[in-house]
Amino acid sequence: MGLNDRFLNACCGQPVDRTPVWFMRQAGRYMPEYRAIRAQHSLLEICAQPDLAAEVTLQPVRTLGVDAAILFADILLPLIPMGLDLEFAAGEGPVIHNPVRTAAEVAALRPVQMEQSLANVLETVRLVRRELDGQVPLIGFAGAPFTLACYLIEGGSSRNFLRAKRLMYADPATWHTLLDKLALVVADYLAAQARAGAQALQLFDSWVGTLSPEDYEEYVLPHSRAVLGRLAATGVPVIHFGTDTATLLPLMAQAGGDVIGLDWRTPLDWGWEQVGADRAVQGNLDPVALFAPRPELERRVQRVLDQAGGRPGHIFNLGHGILPETPVENVKAVVELVHEYSVGVREAT
Amino acid sequence: MGLNDRFLNACCGQPVDRTPVWFMRQAGRYMPEYRAIRAQHSLLEICAQPDLAAEVTLQPVRTLGVDAAILFADILLPLIPMGLDLEFAAGEGPVIHNPVRTAAEVAALRPVQMEQSLANVLETVRLVRRELDGQVPLIGFAGAPFTLACYLIEGGSSRNFLRAKRLMYADPATWHTLLDKLALVVADYLAAQARAGAQALQLFDSWVGTLSPEDYEEYVLPHSRAVLGRLAATGVPVIHFGTDTATLLPLMAQAGGDVIGLDWRTPLDWGWEQVGADRAVQGNLDPVALFAPRPELERRVQRVLDQAGGRPGHIFNLGHGILPETPVENVKAVVELVHEYSVGVREAT
């Protein structure tokens, strides 16, 4: 099998034979093959061992028939060499034992030498590329400065982002210093992934939807723009993703990205208007739709494809990551359905 | 002091001397007076004792100088006589020990005789009206059918609403039967509050923002419309509120409500366009702005008022409830600032 170009062509708004499809968190707990490895190794162990991380990255490519692989890594990895004391407490998600909340703590964050401190991740990229052997492209990724800053400041997940917003409002200079530092690390990290062989990159700003457009513009946009601007030199397409972003989409497009990710709260056609016809879009099935009975799931997949209307520049995905209890057979069925049905939509338009 | 008509006039889109202001969850843990009562009584005890519930309802009116009182009650109270086994676990929020997930469990939900089963709440309404003595109006409230259904099905709070959406997608008949039942109870409950003396009503659909517009229209709108339609006969204005609703606002306005609540993700002027000029709007300061230093807080309050532009039909509020650690003095400052600044906006326009 030769190189599957669907995904990369769609990123650039080029026509494709079928709509490409991949899933955020396509490597993960819903897959028995993944759980078998997790039974033996912690999340951070898998990330640290290129053979394991590569294996986990490749599992969904083999099982699902998706049009792209995405690097298996934790979003917080590049923060560890900055000085982060990270732990994954059982069933609780990440806990950061030394959160960053003051100007002094921001100043103490260390710069990161990618090839040295994140050598394992870059080795995983190289390994996956070799094993994929051109079958499908590999997507690298990183968290966006805002979302990483929230983790750093809150010390883990958060509901209201009280501490992060408080720093933003009370001490904007420290906030911007922190985001400058994060933008530098994120851009270096993504550029290093591209050099190691990643053929596309996704910037995850998963939590940005907690902000008003005014706050996004003032406290986040310059930093996301700095990252996305730097990445233009890599020559690989970049996906810019967030959730709860209905009112942020025009600003996210301004910040940059060849492809803008849409969540399911945004009808795909409406969202595409918001980001502009010059961008590709990615999305946007509700991850919970994967739990629906097959006919209902099919109806929902078809609706997304109908809203895209066969226009070049649509990548099918969920509006957020696959949930842990998702039935694998439904994920497979979506891949098949997207490939089959999108031929029809293309012919009809 | 005579009747303060600002709030009720603004609900009806009538001109007012100053923009009225109140806060969702203005009675609550951020207030020392409230914490003093909570130290002696559980949440459900306060709700069950009209003298305590009335006292808690009146505390913010005395302390803050807001333009309306809102009944102190828990959103889940009307579900208890339906058969709900509810507990408030320490620090965890509500836990429902007998969640409702099957057609049989939906069928087993009992109808509710308001004057009998919710006599305490209605007595609180009467007591608060007497004690307010026309000083400011009293707002009654209830959860909307969707948000209550989520609590019932999930058995408490939820992140992804997996079980609720799964029922919706897999067994729409049972879903609609459940929401029919809830709509009946909610409408009866709100109508009973109005008969007992509530001068306005708010329907809280706090969690509705987890839905796409298509799902809202199919699974929720008919039931919210049923409630809001029934309430027209009460003759009191109704506020229809949700969060994360940027793409749902036109449909929420279709469902009904004299006033549509906007959260902070939606610029107030943009949100007002979405719901239409025939509606009043309520909102929409980010609750976290109350933690900002005073000048920043003032800038944010003024921005909301500037976006409203002095047009009749704006009620100042947060985009969601007051957070437990909020500094009381900042809440007071917002009331003063809204009253002072809105005179200026009105004169300038």
B250 CB within 8 Å of a chain A CB: no
Interface contact A286-B165, CB threshold 8 A: yes
Domain ranges of chain B: 6-348
Q: Which residues lie closer than 8 Å to A293 by C-beta, 6 or more apart?
A: B169, B170
Please, are residues B342 and B335 in contact by the beta-carbon 8 Å criterion?
no
pTM of the complete model: 0.96
> Residue type for B32, please?
P
Average pLDDT, chain B: 96
**According to the model, what pLDDT value does residue A2 have?**
53
Give the nearest chain A residue to B274 (CA atoms). Answer: A247
CA–CA gap between residue A249 and residue A232 (Å, rounded)? 20
A40 CB within 8 Å of a chain B CB: no
Q: What is the mean pLDDT of residues A134-148?
A: 97
A108 CB within 8 Å of a chain B CB: no
Give the nearest chain A residue to B265 (CA atoms). Answer: A212
B287 CB within 8 Å of a chain A CB: yes
**According to the model, what pLDDT value does residue B1 have?**
45
A11 φψ region: left (φ > 0), alpha (ψ -120 to 50), beta (else)? alpha
Q: Which two tokens stand for residue B325?
A: 């650690």
Interface contact B288-A165, CB threshold 8 A: yes
**According to the model, what pLDDT value does residue B3 have?**
67
- Contact pairs from chain A to chain B, CB under 8 Å: 95
CA–CA gap between residue B23 and residue B341 (Å, rounded)? 18
pLDDT 10s digits, B8-62: 999 999 999 999 999 999 999 999 999 999 999 999 999 999 999 999 999 999 9
Please tell me which residue, A3 or B123, carries the higher pLDDT value: B123
**According to the model, what pLDDT value does residue A90 have?**
75
Please list every residue in chain A whose beta carbon sits closer than 8 Å to the beta carbon of residue B325. Answer: 162
Residue with tokens 């009191």: B236
> Residue type for A36, please?
A
**According to the model, what pLDDT value does residue A92 have?**
73
A211 CB within 8 Å of a chain B CB: yes
| pLDDT for residue A194 is more than 50 | yes
Nearest to B121 by CA among B60, B192, B185, B201: B192
Neighbours of B138 (CB within 10 A): 25
Nearest to B283 by CA among B314, B311, B244, B246: B314
Name the minimum distance, in Å, from the CA of A246 to any CA of chain B. 6
Question: Which residues on neighbouring strands pair with residue B141, listed in sequence order?
Answer: B202
> Residue type for B219, please?
Y
Please, are residues A283 and A263 in contact by the beta-carbon 8 Å criterion?
yes
CA–CA gap between residue A266 and residue A104 (Å, rounded)? 40
Name the minimum distance, in Å, from the CA of A29 to any CA of chain B. 16
Nearest to A190 by CA among A124, A114, A110, A82: A114
pLDDT 10s digits, A255-288: 999 999 999 999 999 999 999 999 999 999 999 9
CA–CA gap between residue A192 and residue A208 (Å, rounded)? 25
**According to the model, what pLDDT value does residue A71 have?**
98
Please list every residue in chain A whose beta carbon sits closer than 8 Å to the beta carbon of residue B210. Answer: 265
Interface contact B267-A286, CB threshold 8 A: no
Least confident of B10-24, B91-105, B295-309: B91-105
> Residue type for A156, please?
G
Q: What is the mean pLDDT of residues B251-277?
A: 98
Among this protein's residues, is B216 annotated catalytic?
no
Q: What is the mean pLDDT of residues A26-43?
A: 96
B158 CB within 8 Å of a chain A CB: no
Name the minimum distance, in Å, from the CA of B271 to any CA of chain A. 10
Interface contact B212-A247, CB threshold 8 A: no
CA angle at A340 for the pair A339 and A342, rounded to the nearest 5°: 70
Question: Which residues on neighbouring strands pair with residue A260, listed in sequence order?
Answer: A240, A281
Q: Which two tokens stand for residue B43?
A: 């949440």
Among this protein's residues, is A265 annotated catalytic?
no
**CB burial readout A243-255, b (16+ within 10 A) else e:** bbbbbbbebbbbb
Please list every residue in chain B whose beta carbon sits closer than 8 Å to the beta carbon of residue A286. Answer: 165, 212, 215
Question: Which residues on neighbouring strands pair with residue A95, listed in sequence order?
Answer: A87
Interface contact A265-B289, CB threshold 8 A: no
Nearest to B75 by CA among B156, B191, B129: B156
| pLDDT for residue B2 is more than 60 | no
Q: Which residue in A246, A291, A292 is closest to B246 by CB distance?
A: A246
Please, are residues A153 and A145 in contact by the beta-carbon 8 Å criterion?
no
**Pairing, β B138-143 against β B200-205:** parallel
Q: Which two tokens stand for residue B134?
A: 């026309």
Q: Is the ipTM of this complex over 0.85?
A: yes
Residue with tokens 């900055």: A82
Band of residue B89 on the pLDDT scale cut at 50, 70, 90: confident
Q: Which residue in B214, B288, B293 is closest to A162 by CB distance?
A: B288
pLDDT 10s digits, B62-78: 999 999 999 999 999 99
Interface contact A212-B265, CB threshold 8 A: yes
Interface contact B265-A292, CB threshold 8 A: no
CA–CA gap between residue A135 and residue A2 (Å, rounded)? 6
Q: Which CATH number fits domain B6-348: 3.20.20.210, 3.40.50.10800, 2.60.120.620, 3.90.470.10?
A: 3.20.20.210
Chain A interface disruption, residue of B29, B163, B206, B247, most A CBs within 10 A:
B247
> Residue type for B11, please?
C
| pLDDT for residue A91 is more than 80 | no
What is the number of residues in chain B?
349
Q: How far is CA A8 from CA A4, A14, A73, A133, in A?
A: 8, 9, 21, 16
Band of residue B349 on the pLDDT scale cut at 50, 70, 90: low
CA–CA gap between residue A329 and residue A180 (Å, rounded)? 43
Interface contact A325-B162, CB threshold 8 A: yes
| pLDDT for residue A313 is more than 70 | yes
Interface contact A214-B303, CB threshold 8 A: yes
Please tell me which residue, A13 or B2, carries the higher pLDDT value: A13
**According to the model, what pLDDT value does residue B346 have?**
76
**According to the model, what pLDDT value does residue A1 have?**
44
Please list every residue in chain B whose beta carbon sits closer than 8 Å to the beta carbon of residue A211. Answer: 265
SS3 per-residue string spanning chain B: CCCCCHHHHHHCCCCCCCCCECCCCCCCCCCHHHHHHHCCCCHHHHHHCHHHHHHHHHHHHHHHCCCCEECCCCCCHHHCCCCCCEEEECCCEEEECCCCCCHHHHHCCCCCCHHHHCHHHHHHHHHHHHHHCCCCCEEEEEECHHHHHHHHHHCCCCCCCHHHHHHHHHCHHHHHHHHHHHHHHHHHHHHHHHHHCCCEEEEEECCHHHCCHHHHHHHHHHHHHHHHHHHHHHCCCEEEEECCCCCCHHHHHHHCCCEEECCCCCCHHHHHHHHCCCCEEEEEECHHHHHCCHHHHHHHHHHHHHHHCCCCCEEEEECCCCCCCCCHHHHHHHHHHHHHHHHHHHHHC
pLDDT 10s digits, B144-153: 999 999 999 9
pLDDT 10s digits, B163-222: 999 999 999 999 999 999 999 999 999 999 999 999 999 999 999 999 999 999 999 999
Among this protein's residues, is A216 annotated catalytic?
no
Residue A240 DSSP code:
E
**According to the model, what pLDDT value does residue B168 have?**
97
Give the nearest chain B residue to A244 (CA atoms). Answer: B244
pLDDT 10s digits, B214-253: 999 999 999 999 999 999 999 999 999 999 999 999 999 9
Question: Which residues on neighbouring strands pair with residue B94, listed in sequence order?
Answer: B88
**According to the model, what pLDDT value does residue A312 have?**
96
| pLDDT for residue B91 is more than 90 | no
Band of residue A149 on the pLDDT scale cut at 50, 70, 90: very high
Q: Which residue in A170, A270, A288 is closest to B160 by CB distance?
A: A288
Please, are residues B265 and B319 in contact by the beta-carbon 8 Å criterion?
yes
Among this protein's residues, is A225 annotated catalytic?
no
Among this protein's residues, is A180 annotated catalytic?
no
Catalytic-role residue among A6, A67, A129, A151: A151
Calculate what percentage of chain A has a pLDDT beyond 70.
Answer: 99
CA–CA gap between residue A252 and residue A245 (Å, rounded)? 9
Residue A83 DSSP code:
T
Give the nearest chain B residue to A158 (CA atoms). Answer: B159
Q: What is the mean pLDDT of residues A215-227?
A: 98
Q: Which residue in B170, B264, B292 is closest to A170 by CB distance?
A: B292
Calculate what percentage of chain A has a pLDDT beyond 90.
Answer: 95
Chain A interface disruption, residue of B265, B285, B294, B320, most A CBs within 10 A:
B265
> Residue type for B225, please?
R
| pLDDT for residue A349 is more than 80 | no
